[in-house]
Amino acid sequence: MEQFLNSLGLLNLAKWNHELSIALRIVLILAAAWIVLGVTQHLIRTFRERITSRMEDREQIKRAETLGRVFRYIASVVVLVVATTLILSELGIAVAPILGAAGVIGLAVGFGAQSLVKDYFAGFFILLENQMRQGDVVGIADKAGLVEEVTLRYVRLRDYDGNVHIVSNGLITTVTNMSRGFAQSVVDVGVAYREDTDQAVGVMRETGAQMRADPVFGPKILDDLEVAGVDKWGDSAVILRCRFKVQPLEQWNVRREFLRRLKKAFDARGIEIPFPHLTIYAGVAKDGSAPPFRVQGPDSAAKSG
């Protein structure tokens, strides 16, 4: 029996002690990695909370939260790589050849996944340069909507219809941010050609002043209504352009309310808001006489039939 156990190596105490020592060290490495990861995540979260508690700017708070998530992700990857390397060393697996092979494989994968690498680099600079944050309304890659998530690889948007768009960071070349500092609510108003434009502009200013004094919309408007004047001559209307300087993301609400109030004010003053008109020209004969223009109604069409 003793010979049989020796053949299996079960009585080789030195071997058992060595394997037990390796297993113990691996457990200690995993425990240490778990502790370091937990402490790191807690420190990053605490540091972010202390910074945001001193901030009053909502945009800066959103940026700090986004960067905090990125730093937690990077810390997790670093701890995982270090722990894996130490465990391989304890198992007697040479790390240097693996790293060399990983470098070659990584180079090959890099050529095959250039778009993925581009996404991560672009995402890093988007976060570093504070181009957009969670809660912003932006236009990127022919898509526009509310930013729900910003990662190193993609940006998730939700548009007004509720559709979710996932845009890879590598596709983002231009960011149109509609929620930084302030916004301009631009309104184009059409009036009939026969109307007095000065009178229409006066009604627009009056309506804008009323909104500025309104307890609901007043805090959303940062300055008095700015009237640019006659912007262009349309096919059936004279276009007057104006704008409000408003709080971020309030440009659409202010514009809709202004148009609602202005419609009532124009109706009360008898100012016409025109609709497209169509003029039909029947032409003239070679001698300069114009042929009679007849409108054939349903009765005459029935008689001719």
Q: To the nearest 10°, the Cα dihedral for 173, 175, 176, 181?
A: -150
Which pLDDT value is given to residue 296? 57
Q: Does residue 295 lie in a domain region?
A: no
> What is 200-246 written as a DSSP string?
HHHHHHHHHHHHHH-TTTGGGB-S--EEEEEEEE-SS-EEEEEEEEE
Q: pLDDT above 70 covers what percent of the chain?
A: 74
| Residues 178 and 139 sit within 8 Å (Cβ to Cβ) | yes
Higher pLDDT, 261 or 295: 261
Q: Does residue 276 lie in a domain region?
A: no
Q: Using CA atoms, how far apart are residues 139 and 152, in angstroms rounded to an integer?
A: 18
CATH number where 161 lies = 2.30.30.60
> Most confidently modeled of 88-102, 135-149, 282-296?
135-149
Which pLDDT value is given to residue 4? 47
pLDDT in tens, 131-190: 888 888 999 988 999 998 888 889 999 998 999 999 998 898 899 998 888 899 999 999
pLDDT of 125 > 70? The answer is yes
Tokens, residue 199 = 């009178």
* Helical H segments across the chain, by residue range: 2-8, 13-53, 58-90, 95-112, 114-128, 197-213, 251-269, 298-304
Which pLDDT value is given to residue 71? 79
CATH number where 16 lies = 1.10.287.1260
| Whether the model pTM is above 0.75 | no
The range of the structural domain enclosing residue 106 comes to 2-112
Domain count of the fold of the chain: 3
Strand-pair category, 137-140 with 176-177: antiparallel
Q: What does the pLDDT average to over 274-293?
A: 69
Could you tell me the pLDDT band of residue 302, with boundaries at 50, 70 and 90?
Answer: very low
Whole-number mean pLDDT of the chain? 80
Same domain membership, residue 204 and residue 226: yes
Q: Does residue 279 lie in a domain region?
A: no
Same domain membership, residue 229 and residue 191: yes
Q: Does residue 299 lie in a domain region?
A: no
Tokens, residue 63 = 């940026």
Which pLDDT value is given to residue 259? 95
Residue from 202, 198, 223, 229 nearest 211 by CA: 223
CA angle at 172 for the pair 170 and 175, rounded to the nearest 5°: 155
Which pLDDT value is given to residue 5? 43
Residue from 261, 271, 166 nearest 211 by CA: 261
